Amino acid sequence: MRLENKVAIVTGSASGMGLEEAKAFAREGAKVVIADLNAEAGKQVAEEIKAEGGEATFINVNMTDSASINALVEETVKTYGKLDVVVNNAGIFDKYANILDTDEAQWDLIVGVNLKGIYLMAKAALPVMIEQGGGIFVNIASVAGIVAAKGGAAYTASKHGVIGLTKHMVSEFAKQGIRTNAIAPGTIVTPLIKDVVQNIPTDPVPMKRFGQPSEVSELAVFLASDEAQFMNGAIIPIDGGFTLQ
């Protein structure tokens, strides 16, 4: 198993891509912390993983609150003794709202969860990882962080920020044994956008289909594994060729 004995936090893992990532990590031998604001769904995911023979626990977290994120990291280390991997998956979508249609509260919420949440997570987890001699971050960005045609104003800005923050983390912390890479998914069919996807044509995607959460989760497993130990600062689109257009 590629992640045997690793301890991983997967944020936003009560549903969608995060759920698939958490289950994939558990299948590969990781001890997984399901970190989400939705306690009912998060606990259910942890129970499903345990029923399938994996090891998981649920910890409630608010990705815009530093005290909540600090508590998440502290509880993880208290439970498992270390922290090897953080998958920064938690995110929210703005349904393509442009600047004029985005009020200040919506902007603050989307940037707060999608970008500030990763900053707070890194700020909490990095000291633990540095002290133990290394660690891995897998940041879930988006093709909206590469091009401007796959999200609204706040979402696009936040995902460009995720890519910039990923690069900064490598430049500052690679020498201390920290690996940080980002995945940039295209349109992935998840509960977050299921009502939007029905109205999106697949024509701009060379493969003429949208992606599945399991396809992103397998890439996340690879980046967290020793197979990717020389990968640092990679921004990897998984989009059916969309960003090549």
Burial 51-76 (b: 16+ CB within 10 A, else e): eeebebbbbbbbbbeeebbbbbbebb
Cα distances from 214 to residues 9, 39, 223, 227, 241, in angstroms, run 18, 23, 14, 19, 18
Average pLDDT over residues 49-71: 98
Bridge partners for 55 per DSSP = 31
Q: Which two tokens stand for residue 173?
A: 């912390």
What's the pLDDT score for residue 245?
77
Residue 118 pLDDT level (bands cut at 50, 70, 90): very high
Domain ranges across the chain: 7-236
- Count of H-run helices and E-run strands, the chain: 8, 7
Residue 29 clears pLDDT 90, i.e. is over it:
yes
CATH 3.40.1440.10 is held by the domain 7-236:
no
Residue 194 clears pLDDT 80, i.e. is over it:
no
- Percent with pLDDT over 70 in the chain: 99
Q: How many CB atoms are closer than 10 A to CB 46?
A: 24
Average pLDDT over residues 89-114: 96
E strands of the chain, at which residues? 7-11, 31-36, 55-60, 85-88, 135-140, 178-185, 235-238
What's the pLDDT score for residue 192?
65
Residue 61 clears pLDDT 80, i.e. is over it:
yes
- Rg over alpha carbons for the chain, rounded to the nearest Å, is 17
Average pLDDT over residues 185-214: 84
Residue 95 pLDDT level (bands cut at 50, 70, 90): confident
The verdict on pTM exceeding 0.75 is yes
The closest alpha carbon to 55, from 64, 45, 40, belongs to 45
Active site residues: 155
Residue 51 clears pLDDT 80, i.e. is over it:
yes
What's the pLDDT score for residue 200?
78
Average pLDDT, the chain: 95
Element (H, E) at 217: helix 213-224
